[in-house]
Amino acid sequence: MSAPIELAMEEALRLGRHISEHASFSLVNELESVTARIAEADPERAAGLYETFIAACYEKADEVDDSSGYLGMFGGSLFARWVIARQAVFIREFEKVVNGS
């Protein structure tokens, strides 16, 4: 059984540890695997998880030598995924109103 997504976020981020430019690619690969798990969640839960993950990645940014730009690109994709999840929630709620259910 895999760890809860929140724990997987924490483990992947390695908070408190400096990440060298050389290791930043591996870090982003680990973060991408967490993002894949978030994408499988219900859109409302996913949106909340993305918000948490965005905040945690922002905090981690000071501990990463991102000369390569990998973490920055990942952050941009994370925002896009959050927007998609929020749109899915909106559409679902809109359809409930339109269909009267």
pLDDT digits (tens, 9 = 90+) for 17-54: 999 999 999 999 999 999 999 999 999 999 999 999 99
Q: Residue 1 above 60 pLDDT?
A: no
State residue 95's pLDDT score.
79
Where residue 83 falls among pLDDT bands split at 50, 70, 90? very high
Q: Length of the chain in residues, anyone?
A: 101
State residue 2's pLDDT score.
62
Q: Residue 101 above 80 pLDDT?
A: no
CB crowding 32-62: b at 16 or more within 10 Å, else e: eebbebbeeeebeebbbbbeebeebbeebee
